[in-house]
């Protein structure tokens, strides 16, 4: 597998996006990209099935939700190490374009994550756009990179 290790800080948000009620006011943005041999259909299935998340995302021990798959309005709790629990809400899903966006909140800390899955000559390319406090993004990025590599493994 060839994994893109490129990550770029895209900048900081000033006034927040008015469409989200200022939810992301003053937040930084970071985009990660990875390429791997798994087929795009496999990668998309792993994203869309909540039950698959712990298999490829090392920071997720369990997902608690009433839904089987991601969809607009799906919400629940992610269980991580040492009993850490983070609430989430799926904002949007486009199965045809293989993109989806969700919000995650852990106490006062919040992030918005946008995922994209694209065919690539070597298998699949995925991009993860993250918006949140810069220190949170910096701390989360290594785990996210590892998760993307595992997501893209056949």
Read off the pLDDT of residues 99-124 as tens digits, 9 standing for 90 and up: 999 999 999 999 999 999 999 999 99
pTM beyond 0.85: the answer is no
Q: Minimum mean pLDDT among 21-25, 67-71, 92-96: which range?
A: 21-25
Domains of the chain, CATH where assigned: 31-151 (3.30.530.20)
67 CB-near residues (< 8 Å, 6+ apart): 50, 74, 76
**Which two structure tokens, joined as six digits, stand for 22?**
């200022």
Confidence label for 29 from pLDDT (cuts 50, 70 and 90): very high
Strand partners, 106: 109
C-alpha atoms less than 13 angstroms from C-alpha of 29 in its C-beta half-sphere: 14
Kindly indicate the confidence band of residue 82, based on its pLDDT and cuts at 50, 70 and 90. confident
What pLDDT score was predicted for residue 76? 98
Q: What is the mean pLDDT of residues 125-148?
A: 96
Report pLDDT digits (tens) over 6-20. Answer: 444 444 444 334 445
Residues of the chain above pLDDT 70, percent: 84
């Amino acid at each position: 597998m060839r994994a893109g290790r490129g990550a770029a800080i895209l900048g900081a948000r000033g006034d927040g996006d008015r469409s989200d009620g200022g939810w992301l006011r003053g937040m930084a943005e970071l985009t990660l990209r990875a390429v791997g041999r798994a087929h795009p259909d496999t990668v998309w299935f792993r994203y869309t099935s909540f039950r698959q998340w712990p298999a490829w995302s090392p920071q997720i021990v369990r997902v608690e939700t009433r839904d089987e798959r991601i969809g607009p309005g799906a919400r629940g709790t992610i269980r991580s190490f040492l009993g850490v629990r983070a609430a989430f809400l799926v904002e949007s899903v486009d199965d045809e374009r293989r993109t989806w966006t969700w919000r995650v909140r852990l106490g006062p800390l919040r992030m918005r994550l946008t995922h994209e899955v694209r065919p690539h000559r070597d298998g699949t390319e995925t991009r993860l756009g993250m918006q949140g406090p810069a220190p949170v993004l910096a701390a989360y990025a290594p785990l996210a990179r590892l998760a993307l590599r595992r997501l893209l493994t056949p």
